Chains A and B, each alone.
Chain A
């Protein structure tokens, strides 16, 4: 007789997560519907002034977010292989780019339906290079392959400066103004400045709400499993200017406040250690990451990646908005500036250590780690550990290596705690 093993019932998703799924599905559906009506739809880099297309009612989807979703569902490997094989891209470039460039070609065949979520083919692309310089070649290739225009906002790197110089802000503001005029011509739609102000205000409400939510995790023990925040980033990437995001964040805040009131948490184990997660999520290996961290009682209570989408500025002030887009991604800042921010966060969130994802794809978020961890260790006194992985390419990750590095970090954090507590 075969022994049947009872499956552990899955915990029902909190209401806020259900709302996120519904919102994301609607954004995709709206784009497909617009496409079916013959309207123009766009693809955009993740930290582009989304307020403009939101104001004009032009659907936009986000390849980075889409690639993350596909990778998390373990559907990315075939696309990456196609990009490297048939399309002849080297494996050294960003895996989001490889995955998306392959997908952009695949979806030209109406019968293609393997990836999930599926994107409709774009009529234009929106590109801001504030988070990565490789985005320029990626989007240039999309533009060439699909014969569609690029709307480009060039954001300069902030060398040796805590704040961008005034000319850089002016440069971005001028480009946003020019982009609005060009988009009016391209879409045939008039830009409504009053509606734009409303969208800006909504974006600020949402950014502020998300920041408030993140700050709730400064509590010890944390009410939220830090990995949960990965599930809400899409609200700010896809729908920063939408009221539905406000509703989701209000619901999420309620759920967290409930955890606080009840003394409960969404972290699925006793929180023994709190760490700062540095870098993009390892989407194909998120399950193993979380399982391992859970086994060692490590809650990655905060990370710089989920807070990258808070674009904070004064509504109605284009200079302020330009400034925000010049600085919102830490990839446009120097290592010292980033690591000072990380050190402050580590202290604020009472972290015992830092776990750094050496991401084979994202050079921008990885180059600084080797020097950066020394800065963090010196400024905070907490130990850091690196592990190799990738945001989409599952070939890079090794489960045994990840576990050994986590365990090594835990053993140092344990010794530190014991020494501190006498």
Chain B
């Protein structure tokens, strides 16, 4: 029996098709988020990949910022529970998850059974979120996806002292005008994000193993800086960006089993 998890984030939509609650049959990611055609596109792509139709899905669970507005969904769940569920499935030893989303950052703690136990999220501020990275990448005239590679070329970190996204952007402009090396600036930006997110993680309590979830986990520079701030190794699974969608598909499977 197939279930689908659809994660409609603020900057990207992710989709997982799961077979019998254990085998990942299909994955799809579209780089446009809630309020766009992204959700429908990623859903269509995932189905088309395996020549499936809606009727072939036993249940469809939606999560993420746009979780309330996908009409054909059977149910919706918060991204908090879905990331916890997805990561616990991918890496069962993980007890602490850091997820940096497009509009928020969260630290999740799981209990020994892999269930969400506690969480802390950012306040009404874009610092430490994917939006911060997006704004900085735009100012540096590089793609957000390239930030990790630039970070690897850094010889030192250019300090970005402002927490506020707008002020940090001004700082970046100022440093660019002083010909500060771009790679070093990127490393400084990653440090700024890591410091902000580490506060959330410490506040929620850190229990090993620690993993990152979500698309920003693909940025090796952020993972490096966060690992240094938390003084621990951060595990990243190849499917980290799809963890929320995977969690949703797993919840869909559980609901299906309960119905049976």
By a beta-carbon cutoff of 8 Å, the part of chain A in contact with chain B is: 358, 370, 374, 377, 383-386, 388, 396-398, 400-401, 404-405, 407-408, 411-412, 415, 419
Chain B residues with CB under 8 Å of A419's CB are 115
B65 touches A412 (CB 8 A): no
Q: A377-B118, A408-B116, A415-B115 are in contact. Are A401 and B104 (CB under 8 A)?
A: yes
B184 at the interface (CB under 8 A from A): no
Checking A374, A386, A398, A415 against B116 with a beta-carbon cut-off of 8 angstroms, the contacting residue is: A415
A404 touches B121 (CB 8 A): yes
B203 touches A370 (CB 8 A): yes
Chain B residues with CB under 8 Å of A405's CB are 121
B124 touches A396 (CB 8 A): yes
B65 touches A408 (CB 8 A): no
A411 touches B80 (CB 8 A): yes
Q: Which residue of A lies closest to B118 (CB)?
A: A383
Chain B residues with CB under 8 Å of A388's CB are 123-124
B119 touches A385 (CB 8 A): yes
What's the Cα separation between A358 and B123 when bound, in Å?
Answer: 9
B255 at the interface (CB under 8 A from A): no
Contact with A along B45-63 (1 / 0, CB 8 A): 0000000000000000000
A412 touches B123 (CB 8 A): no
What's the Cα separation between A412 and B80 when bound, in Å?
Answer: 10
What's the Cα separation between A383 and B116 when bound, in Å?
Answer: 10
Checking B78, B123, B124, B205 against A408 with a beta-carbon cut-off of 8 angstroms, the contacting residue is: B78
Contact with A along B61-95 (1 / 0, CB 8 A): 00001000000000001111100000000000000
Q: Which residue of A lies closest to B108 (CB)?
A: A408
B145 at the interface (CB under 8 A from A): no
Distance to closest chain B CB from A357 (angstroms): 12
What's the Cα separation between A408 and B121 when bound, in Å?
Answer: 11
Which 10 A-B residue pairings sit nearest by Cβ, starting from the closest? A408-B80, A407-B78, A411-B81, A388-B123, A408-B78, A398-B124, A388-B124, A415-B115, A408-B119, A404-B78
- How many B residues, CB 8 Å from partner? 18
Chain B residues with CB under 8 Å of A404's CB are 78-80, 104, 121
B121 touches A412 (CB 8 A): no
Chain A residues with CB under 8 Å of B117's CB are 383, 412
Query: What would be 6 A-B contacts, judged by CB atoms less than 8 Å apart?
Result: A358-B123, A370-B203, A383-B117, A396-B124, A408-B116, A412-B116
A411 touches B78 (CB 8 A): yes
Q: Which residue of B lies closest to A410 (CB)?
A: B78
What's the Cα separation between A397 and B123 when bound, in Å?
Answer: 9
Q: Which residue of A lies closest to B203 (CB)?
A: A370
Chain A residues with CB under 8 Å of B206's CB are none
- Which B97-124 residues have a C-beta within 8 angstroms of A? 104, 115-121, 123-124
**Given A358-B123, A383-B117, 9 new contacts (CB under 8 A):** A396-B124, A401-B124, A404-B78, A405-B121, A408-B116, A411-B81, A412-B81, A415-B115, A415-B116
A397 touches B81 (CB 8 A): no
Q: Which residue of B lies closest to A384 (CB)?
A: B118
What's the Cα separation between A408 and B118 when bound, in Å?
Answer: 9
Distance to closest chain B CB from A408 (angstroms): 4
Chain B residues with CB under 8 Å of A415's CB are 115-116
Q: Which residue of B lies closest to A406 (CB)?
A: B78
What's the Cα separation between A324 and B58 when bound, in Å?
Answer: 61
Which of B104, B115, B121, B124 has the most chain A CB atoms closer than 10 A to its own CB? B124
What's the Cα separation between A385 and B108 when bound, in Å?
Answer: 12
- Which B113-139 residues have a C-beta within 8 angstroms of A? 115-121, 123-124
What's the Cα separation between A298 and B79 when bound, in Å?
Answer: 19
Chain A residues with CB under 8 Å of B123's CB are 358, 388
A400 touches B78 (CB 8 A): no
What's the Cα separation between A370 and B202 when bound, in Å?
Answer: 11
Distance to closest chain A CB from B100 (angstroms): 15
B120 touches A386 (CB 8 A): yes
Which of A370, A377, A405, A408 has the most chain B CB atoms closer than 10 A to its own CB? A408
Chain B residues with CB under 8 Å of A396's CB are 124
What's the Cα separation between A332 and B44 when bound, in Å?
Answer: 58
What's the Cα separation between A384 and B109 when bound, in Å?
Answer: 13
Q: Which residue of B lies closest to A385 (CB)?
A: B119
What's the Cα separation between A396 and B78 when bound, in Å?
Answer: 22
Q: Which residue of B lies closest to A390 (CB)?
A: B124
Chain A residues with CB under 8 Å of B116's CB are 408, 411-412, 415
Distance to closest chain B CB from A120 (angstroms): 36
Chain A residues with CB under 8 Å of B119's CB are 385, 408
Q: Which residue of A lies closest to B121 (CB)?
A: A405
Distance to closest chain B CB from A383 (angstroms): 6
Q: A370-B203, A385-B119, A408-B119 are in contact. Are A397 and B124 (CB under 8 A)?
A: yes
Chain B residues with CB under 8 Å of A358's CB are 123
What's the Cα separation between A35 and B4 when bound, in Å?
Answer: 68
Chain B residues with CB under 8 Å of A412's CB are 81, 115-118
What's the Cα separation between A377 and B115 when bound, in Å?
Answer: 16
Contact with A along B203-228 (1 / 0, CB 8 A): 10100000000000000000000000
What's the Cα separation between A384 and B121 when bound, in Å?
Answer: 12
Chain A residues with CB under 8 Å of B65's CB are 400
Distance to closest chain A CB from B80 (angstroms): 4
Checking A377, A400, A408 against B81 with a beta-carbon cut-off of 8 angstroms, the contacting residue is: A408
Contact with A along B24-44 (1 / 0, CB 8 A): 000000000000000000000
Distance to closest chain A CB from B243 (angstroms): 16
What's the Cα separation between A404 and B205 when bound, in Å?
Answer: 20
Q: Which residue of A lies closest to B113 (CB)?
A: A419
Distance to closest chain B CB from A293 (angstroms): 15
What's the Cα separation between A407 and B119 when bound, in Å?
Answer: 12
Distance to closest chain B CB from A146 (angstroms): 35
- Which B198-254 residues have a C-beta within 8 angstroms of A? 203, 205
